[in-house]
Amino acid sequence: MIERYTRPEMANIWSQENKLKIMMEVEVLACEGMAAIGQIPAEAAKNIRAKANFNVDRVNEIEKTTRHDVIAFLSCVAEYIGDDAKYMHAGMTSSDVLDTALAVQMKQAGEIILEQLKAFAQVLKEKAIQYKDTLCIGRTHAVHAEPITFGLKLAVWYEETLRNITRMERAIETISYGQISGAVGTFANIDPRIEEYVCEHLGLKPEPVSTQVISRDHYNEYMTTLAIVATSLEKFMTEIRNLQRTEIFEVMEEFKKGQKGSSAMPHKRNPMTCERVCGLARVIRGNVMPAFEDSVLWHERDLAHSSVERIIIPDSTSLLFYILQLATNVVKNMEVHEDQMMANVEKTLGLVFSQRLMLTVVGKGVPRDTVYPWVQSNALRAWDTKTSFKELVKQDENIMKYITEAELDEIFDYSYHTKNVDYIFKRCGLL
C-alpha cells in the first residue's frame, strides 16, 4: 500500500492494529464457543474476554524470536490474560485465525467500496439526466458516425456501474466465509460447533469443506470483481481523456485554482486525474494473475500464497477505493462544452444523415446496392470539397427523382436520432 494512493478508511482496515484486533476477536469467540459447549470453564472465557489485549510493538518484538506471526500474537495476548490463556487456540491452526480474520477484512474493504460504487452511480444518474438531450457526435473507429446525446454516453456508464454494484455485492458474499476446522480441516481436535459460533458472531458463513486453508477460488472471484470495476473506471476515464483532446474539446476535467498542468508549458490543462485512474486500474488487473496462482497450493496447504496476499489484497482494495473516489469527483465536476459538441456534430457538413438518406430511398423501392453508391459518391465529394452534403444531394438527379425537397429537409433533422432517448432512459431506470 502506497500512502499517496490510500485513503484513511482503507488504511485503517489493512492496518496491523485492525488485523490483530480481528484475530483476537476470533480467538476470544472460539473460547466463548468452547465454554458454551462445556469444553472450558465459563469463568475462563469471561476472563479471556475481559483481559484479552495486545500491543503491536510487543507482537513484532516477539516475532523476531518466534519467526511466526500467530505464535507471536498469541504470546503477547497471553501476557495480558494470564493463566487462562492456556485455553486459547486449542485445536486450532494458524490458518483458522488468519483466513477468518482476512475474510472479515476483505468484507470490510468490500463494503466501503460498495458504498462508493453506489455514490458513483448516483452521480452518473444525475449527470445522465442533466445531459439527456445534449446532442453530440457518436464515433466508431474514432470517426464521426451518427449523433447521440452526451446523456446516453453517461447512461451506458450508469448501467455498467449498476452491474458492478451487483458484482461487488456477490463478491462480498463470496468472500464472507470463515473456518475453525483445525489442522488439515478435519475437526479432529476441535468441535465443529466452535466454527459455527465464531462465524455467526463475525457475520460469516462456515466454509463447508476446508483443508488447512479456505479454498482460494473465493479470493479469485473477489479479486476479479475488483479488476472488472477498475476496468470500467478506466473505460469511462479514457473517454473523458479523449473528449478533452484539443481537437475535440467537448469535456474537460476540473482544473482548480492554482493548479498547474505542464511544468514546461503554462497553457496545458492535462487530464491528469483520469490518467491516474487508468494507470492504477492496470495495477489492479495485474494483481489478478497472482491471485489465481495462489489457488494452486501443495496438497492441503503451503505458504506460497501468504506473502502474495499480504500485498495484492490490501493494494487492490485500496487502489480501487481511491480511483472510485477520483472518478466520482471527475464526473461530478467535469466541464461539459455543449456548444463545442454541437460544432463537432456539424463538422462533417451533414454526412451524419447519410444512412437515413439511403434508407429513405431504399424505402421507395430502389435496391440498396443501387442507392449506396449514389449516397457514398455525394458523401465523398462533400468530404473532399468541404461542401454541404445536403446541397450536393439536391443536385443529384438519381436521388432526387425519388424524394422531394420537403422529404430531404425531414431527413436532415437531428431529432430523428434522439427520438428514442427517453425510451432508453426509462428502460434503464433513469426516467
Identify the pLDDT of residue 290: 93
The radius of gyration of the chain from alpha carbons, rounded to an integer in Å, stands at 30
What pLDDT digit, counting tens, does each position of 352-363 carry? 999 999 999 999
> What pLDDT is recorded for position 405?
94
CA distance 352 to 209: 60
Instruction: Pick the catalytic residue from 68, 262, 295, 307.
Output: 262
Grid coordinates belonging to 252: 474537460
Q: Is the pLDDT of residue 17 over 90?
A: yes
Which helix (H) or strand (E) segment holds residue 143: the answer is: strand 143-149
The confidence score (pLDDT) of residue 272 equals 94
What pTM value is reported for the model? 0.94
Q: How many residues does the chain have?
A: 431
Return d(Cα 428, Cα 144) in angstroms, integer.
26
141 among known catalytic residues: yes
Catalytic entry in 15, 75, 94, 141: 141
pLDDT at 267: 81
Residues 87, 206: Cα–Cα separation, whole Å = 22
- Give 212's pLDDT tier (boundaries 50, 70, 90): confident
Beta carbons of 57 and 16 less than 8 angstroms apart: no
How crowded is the C-beta side of 52, counted as CA atoms within 13 Å?
A: 26
Q: Give the residues across from 177 on adjacent strands.
A: 205
Tens of pLDDT, residue by residue over 75-103, are: 999 999 999 999 999 999 999 999 999 99
Assess whether 262 carries a catalytic annotation. Answer: yes
Distance of alpha carbon 272 from alpha carbon 276, whole angstroms: 6
Stretch 129-133: mean pLDDT:
98
Q: Which domains does the chain have, with CATH numbers?
A: 3-247+267-342 (1.20.200.10), 351-411 (1.10.40.30)
Helix (H, G, I), strand (E, B), or coil: what is residue 251? strand
Compute the mean pLDDT over every residue in the chain, rounded to the nearest whole number.
96
